[in-house]
Amino acid sequence: MKQHLTTLRIAATFAVVMLHISAGLLFSFEKNGLEYWWYGNIVDSFTRWSVPIFFMISGALLLNKVEEAGYFYRKRLKKIAIPFLFWSLFYLILQYIVHNMSLSTLMKKAVDAPYYHLWFLFAILGLYLVTPLLQRWMQVTPKGMLFLFIVFWIFNSAIIPLFTRFTDLDIRFRVPLAIEYIGYFVMGHYLEKYKPKLTAWLFPIGLVITIFGTYYLTAMNDGMFDRFFYGYFTLNVLLMSVGIFVFFQKHPIKIPFQAFLDKYSFGVFLVHALILTLLNQKLHINATFVHPVVGIVVTMSITLPISYLIIWAISKVPYLKRII
């Protein structure tokens, strides 16, 4: 895999962990105080690009070739289906034990998102199902048509919802979640293949809109958190995602222990929510156990090494390593 994509995937993994740590600060101005809310808003806003980047990296890697459908499904679904099934069941059992959830609630979660981060697996599985078709489409579609597709996707998924948010007039085409992420999937391929003249300054532009737009809407909502500008299909998050992709593309950075960090990044994504839950439930370590400036850093500094250690240990056990 190309240097910039490897580093970008590691950065996105770290950012997802930071996003989930800071999320607890954002319920309302009053719960932890406005100062703490601002720290949470800044950190969470800074990391909103992480999930779209995962889809863009996948598009950059998978849509530049053509694979026979049967071979692709065997190869890709084997890598994600077993982890998907195992961790879904694991987190459902965890919630049953920790939160004493009813079986009816657990069943609803099983078909929606067994835990707050596992919705991503539903979306990526949906994209994998149509990837062989997309691969062939990429081979015969000229650059101009791909550009028009991306423009339409941005208009439908990002611009119209922004218009709707402030006018209550919804005119966009509704599509399933996995299909909606095709836009990021195709955009990753387009940016990687054609390298259009874009600037990494799109990132800070999107970041400023995310931070202050979220504050404005939350203030207008009597201090109760309004997450509109956090949405992955908002124009501001789109700008951040493209900006960070372009930055790493133009400035490939090699980091220490890169091969190790990248190899186990998917497993870390799967297990980090468990570590965060245990730290919070058993040791009361979270973003607010001290001042958030320290709490976020300390929680992340504990979560990431433990997550990597667990995944590394699992990878050494025959058969069990299939779950990562």
| Predicted TM-score (pTM) of this structure | 0.94
Nearest to 15 by CA among 196, 150, 207: 207
- The reported pLDDT for the residue numbered 172 is 62
| Separation of alpha carbons 227 and 213, rounded Å | 10
pLDDT digits (tens, 9 = 90+) for 309-323: 999 999 999 989 999
Which helix (H) or strand (E) segment holds residue 274: the answer is: helix 265-282
Percentage of residues of the chain with pLDDT beyond 70? 97
Give me the pLDDT at residue 173, please. Answer: 63
- Taking only the tens place, the pLDDT of each residue in 78-109 is 889 899 999 999 999 988 887 788 888 888 88
Q: Count Cα atoms within 13 angstroms, Cβ side, for 144.
A: 0
Residue ranges covered by each domain of the chain: 3-323
Summarised one tens digit per residue, pLDDT across range 106-151 is 888 887 788 999 999 989 998 999 999 999 999 999 999 999 999 9
SS3 (DSSP) at 67: coil
DSSP 8-state symbol, 47: T
pLDDT of residue 268: 98
* Residue 137: CB atoms within 10 Å: 15
Digit-coded pLDDT (tens) for 158-217: 998 888 888 877 666 665 556 789 999 999 999 999 999 999 999 999 999 999 999 999
Q: Give the contacts of 160 (CB within 8 A, at least 6 positions apart).
A: 170, 171, 172
Place of tokens 């969470």: 44
Question: In this predicted model, what pLDDT tens digit does every residue of 252-292 receive, in sequence order?
Answer: 888 999 999 999 999 999 999 999 999 999 999 999 999 99
CA-CA distance, 222 to 29, in Å (whole number)?
9
Task: Write out the two tokens for 310.
Answer: 């667990």
How is residue 290 annotated by DSSP? S
Instruction: Compare 244 and 99 and report the one with higher pLDDT.
Output: 244
